[in-house]
Amino acid sequence: MINFEFIESPDLDIIAPFKYFQNQIYIGRTVGDLWVDDKDLFPSHIFLEVIGSDLLIHPQKDVEHYLLNGKRASSIRKLKVNDAITIGKTTFKILSFSETMSETKQEILDRKLDKLILEESLRIPIIENLTKLMEP
């Protein structure tokens, strides 16, 4: 999970907090998970990644630099809560982050089925009846 807030940008529609429940986020002008209408950004400008207890920022191809707490940076860096990152004319602040454990679709389905069984859900007989109706 990566939780951050845009505090300044020519794109007034993004001045807000954002929370992504994933370990990787691409931010750019026209490519990625979050698009920012800032003419000074590349289509894919930066990549944020949570690995264990670290949040890393990766500048993308052709990005010469970004500002980290007002200081010029041009390579991969570790970020901390309250760090301010400026890309183009856009600034955002890190509010929190933690590694999000990923599950396969099968694991999610198994967990949901286990929950239904444990709760002795009334849906199970209905599902069984529907399954029988669909049999040839």
Same domain, 32 and 68: yes
CA distances, 123 to each of 32, 111, 113, 116, 129 (Å) = 39, 16, 11, 8, 10
Same domain, 125 and 85: no
d(CA 76, CA 69) in angstroms, rounded, equals: 15
Q: 63: buried, middle or exposed (CB in 10 Å: 19+, 13-18, 0-12)?
A: middle
User: Mean pLDDT, to the nearest integer, of 85-106?
Assistant: 88
Task: Kindly tell me if the per-residue pLDDT of 18 is higher than 90.
Answer: yes
- The confidence score (pLDDT) of residue 119 equals 67
Tokens at 69, concatenated: 């707490």
Render pLDDT for 50-59 as a digit per residue (tens, 0 to 9). 998 999 999 9
The CA-based angle 104-108-110, given to 5 degrees, is 110
Same domain, 78 and 44: yes
What pTM was estimated for this model as a whole?
A: 0.72
**Which DSSP string corresponds to 19-49?**
EESSSEEEEESSSSSEE---TTS-SS-EEEE
Same domain, 25 and 87: yes
C-alpha closest to that of 55 among 46, 64, 63: 46
Domain encompassing residue 58 = 2-97
Same domain, 72 and 128: no
